[in-house]
Structure 1
């Protein structure tokens, strides 16, 4: 004899809700972050860093003129690339989940923003003498790089990024400790080559890693 049920079947809403909450986006390197987003951010970093690194190698020793203008211009491209890196760190909680870890990224973004404004104010000089604003804001360039070095260490300690992607921010963000002494001790020509090469080995490679292996951002 066939019976007709008048009550709906029981649904395990708790289990379904939990499964949806923990399931990462399709192809994502980190829960809630699509792989395509991380690939795009990595590509932005790689392109900006490569442009700056190659230009630094070729004309970094020039103190004015076209060479200096190209350095200033590609410097902006590099800084925009670093913003891509910060966005990837923020979206994947690379520095950790605590308020302090999140605040560190915010503070670095502000310092980098001021440094980028400084770079933009140098462009109208066309490689000539900087104006007052550019000169006053110039210290924010090394400060932003120092901040990135601190973040690189934080990413490695937090351990939310894995494999090479966990270690490479430290490699990339030692630029300030390698490049600046090289330019002071080895002279502008050799120092510029070292500085430019470090951008390629460090930041550009980090961008490629993020673009090719976004899955390494998953804890």
Structure 2
């Protein structure tokens, strides 16, 4: 009888095994691809619907595409969790958990809009709708923390802060320059920010 032993798999081996389509060298390929696809889908739809859809058809298109983007954010948060991008302490893990809940609730708001269920005369829907901007602001603060923590290296250390500044850039442009300028900035920022971040995430190694 032959007895053989093999070493326990490294974390990158486990990541590859649990992420179909990825490789041991790049275990976050799927995560990055979903983020990029969501950002491009929302930017593309927004180019036609505007930042404030006025018809039922444009509202559905806006909601579906922005929902895909929000799913991409969940994949990004999973990457941040697994790479401990914010740090190794309990606070860092708690922040990511809270942000994941905020994004999930924002998805609920988006689904309500797409299905035509949202009623802004009801307090519950008003509170749920607030998680859209709150979740985006949370992502911006997380981007700052990634840069400060320095656990991601090179361009990936600072690009999350660039990508996740979408809300803090678009909303002031809307307030100062109006819908047309905000429309252009919102679409361009998604492509330059989150779509590129997805590519960077897909190339990350453990």
Q: TM bucket by the smaller chain? A: 0.7 to 0.9
Which among 98, 102, 115 is matched to residue 93 of structure 2?
Answer: 102
CA drift of 1:25 comes to 3.0
Asked if 1:38 is matched to 2:10, the reply is no
SS at match of 1:160: coil
Measure how far apart 1:64 and its partner are: 1.6
Which deviations, in whole Å up to 9, do the C-alpha atoms of 1:145-180 show, x marking residues without a partner? 011011111111111111111111000011111111
Bigger CA drift: 183-192 or 146-155? Answer: 183-192
Counterpart of 1:130 (choices 110, 118, 127) is: 118
Other-structure match for 2:72: 81
**Could you tell me how far 1:110 is from its partner in structure 2?**
0.8
Q: Distance in 2 between matches of 1:203 and 1:166?
A: 14
> Is 1:197 aligned with 2:185?
no
Residue 64 (str. 1) matches residue 54 (str. 2):
yes
TM-score (norm 2): 0.84
Q: In the alignment, which residue of structure 2 is the partner of 1:180?
A: 171
Structure 1 residues 11-35: Cα deviation after superposition (integer angstroms, max 9, x where no partner): xxxxx97xx68x5535979xxx944
The reply on whether 1:25 has 2:12 as its aligned counterpart is yes
Conserved? CA contact 1:38–1:210, under 8 Å:
yes
Q: 2:152 matched to which residue of 1? A: 161
Aligned to 1:148: 139
Query: Secondary structure of the residue that 1:25 maps to in structure 2?
Result: helix
Bigger Cα Rg? 1
Q: Deviations over 1:113-143 (max 9, x none)?
A: 1111010111122xxx832454441111010
Once the two structures are TM-superposed, the CA of residue 106 in structure 1 deviates from its matched residue by 0.4
TM-score by length of 1: 0.79
Backbone CA RMSD of aligned residues: 2.5
* Residue segments in structure 2 that go unaligned for 5+ positions in a row: 1-5, 17-22
Instruction: Give aligned pairs, total.
Output: 192
| Preserved CA contact (<8 Å) 1:57 1:195 | no
Match of 1:52 among 42, 45, 69: 42
What is the DSSP-based 3-state SS (H/G/I as helix, E as strand, rest coil) of the residue aligned with 1:109?
Answer: helix
CA contact (8 A) 1:156 1:170 kept: yes
Note the alpha carbon deviations across 1:45-71, whole angstroms, 9 max, x for none.
000011111222232145321223211
Alpha-carbon distance between aligned partners in 2 of 1:139 and 1:195, rounded to the nearest angstrom: 19
Unaligned stretches of 5+ residues in structure 1 = 1-15
1:170 aligns with 2:166: no
